[in-house]
Amino acid sequence: MDSIVLRGLRVVGTHGVLAEEQTRPQPFEVDLVLMIDLASAASSDDLDDTVDYGEVTGVVAGVVEGEHFSLLERLAGRIVEVVLGLDERIATVDVTVTKLRPPVPIDLSSAAVRLVRSR
């Protein structure tokens, strides 16, 4: 299966268990791998034969910015739901959601959750 790989989508959102995380926006990074048959697009050079990754990133950014979850696991799950709903040709979504500055009492540069879901 072919794939579209989208790395390093940085979006500010309010997700977390702590009260401050639910009110203070913080940076998140999203990486996506969309498994899809790209044979038609590889020969046609036509956007209609593939998934528009501009649309994908816009929808994902909207989830991170506009919705609020306590857990990274739920945020990642919501992203998978939305992306699979965009185009029935997407067979699998592999998403990693990274909280770039997790509020823990030790030096930790990031915390991430990765989900892989197929139709």
Q: Which amino acid is at 93?
A: V
Rounded (10°) angle between helices 72-86 and 53-66: 150
HSE-CB for 114 with a 13 A CA cutoff: 5
- Is 99 in the active site? yes
Which is catalytic among the residues 99, 112, 114, 117?
A: 99
- Known catalytic residues? 99
